Structure 1
């Protein structure tokens, strides 16, 4: 099962840096902008350093601080430090409990640590905030699959497809569930749908 990853928060923060009123001191914002640029370029160590300096400067707009914690969490997760990433996503949720990407990305970090129950809880939180979040449904399905609960995995993938029927990964994942359930024809239908959406995609039919 392949969970879906999300880095859209960094784009939101980029907009924030550009749009923040000038009355906010520039030092922290300059560090934040440098950190976001480093994150976009894949220089995660520099991104973490610069975003940490920006956060610690106390010069960032408090009402948007959660976005910078998510951005640093993304850098830490990409750098392989899942526990630190979880801390950042948790800090973001403390500042804004209604920001679904923080819950979603924390779930991804928990998934990477094989903490599937915690991942399911975080994906469920993301869905409580945004009920039409197909990526959260897909990833929650993957976590249920890892736990061996095929019916719950199937239900999540089917809901995800109802929301976003153009994502080949969801069909691929559901097809693997059908395989595990001993329903090869349904699995084949999903794998063929994967190929229809993305002819270059690899499936068990190859």
Structure 2
């Protein structure tokens, strides 16, 4: 069975709302690198942006075009009997499921008119199909976890992130995502542990510094929080969320 998805992490949605990964369900490998930090001879405080521009997210944006969602068609008026018959006729049988297609449909739900609930359905079908390679299973688990998180089902999100990490134990991006979920559940010890693991695997990952800074804030350790926000700003100076935090802490040092 060929692998349809080389394992590559593409964090997806809005930072601070859902620092989650949305992994592409296609064969192309998406490439992203953060800008190299600028060497400075003396510490400088970041300045607020002078104009409104679309900024790079603290996590990389999707760089693959997701498959188009099926066009919705208006449902004809039906009676309860015809609705029941239609449900039976359109029920998905296990033998009819193509796991690769379901994985792609899951990914597509994070764009345009897709919904987290539909993402959960498609990812679940993909995972239960038996069609997926190890890399594709990680993709489906992470994307379903993101969908659960968007639905406020944090325990289920963490369960999926944990299953993904069992298959890809050195994925700092997934540790960062799980750390953010732990933070939202106020499980701060687990959150800081995951953030530290993420940075151990990737010490140049701006999102991990940002998340750990938020965890330090929640712990009341503002000095450490400020250090992490400033480091995140050095690594991703064009990100608005990071810039705001770095500016807030930098201005307080003056």
TM-score of the aligned structures, taking structure 2 as reference length: 0.61
Counterpart among 127, 138, 142 of residue 66 in structure 1: 138
8 Å contact kept, 1:145–1:153: yes
Structure 1's unaligned 5+ residue stretches are 19-24, 187-206
Higher RCO (CA 8 Å, separation ≥ 6 residues):
2
Counterpart among 99, 103, 126 of residue 32 in structure 1: 103
Shift of 1:151: 1.4
8 Å contact kept, 1:27–1:59: yes
> Distance between the aligned counterparts of 1:26 and 1:61, measured in 2?
15
Gap change, CA 1:31 and 1:92, over 3 Å in 2: same
Which secondary structure does the structure 1 equivalent of 2:132 belong to? coil
Structure 2's unaligned 5+ residue stretches are 1-14, 29-63, 65-95
Matched, 1:133 2:146: no
Shift of 1:32: 1.4
Shift of 1:134: 0.6
Gap change, CA 1:91 and 1:107, over 3 Å in 2: same
Which secondary structure does the structure 2 equivalent of 1:159 belong to? helix
Is the radius of gyration larger for structure 1 or structure 2?
A: 2
Matched, 1:153 2:225: yes
Shift of 1:51: 0.6
Pairing 1:1-206 to 2, within 5 Å after superposition: 3=16, 5-11=18-24, 13-15=25-27, 27-40=98-111, 41-177=113-249, 183=252, 186=254
Aligned equivalent of 1:201: none
Which secondary structure does the structure 2 equivalent of 1:9 belong to? coil
Gap change, CA 1:62 and 1:170, over 3 Å in 2: closer
Pairwise CA RMSD: 2.6
> Distance between the aligned counterparts of 2:223 and 2:100, measured in 1?
47
Shift of 1:44: 1.0
8 Å contact kept, 1:116–1:143: yes
Identify, as 1 or 2, the structure richer in helix: 1
TM-score of the aligned structures, taking structure 1 as reference length: 0.74
8 Å contact kept, 2:142–2:161: yes
Gap change, CA 1:75 and 1:144, over 3 Å in 2: same
Q: Count residues in correspondence.
A: 174
> Distance between the aligned counterparts of 1:86 and 1:135, measured in 2?
18
8 Å contact kept, 2:21–2:142: no
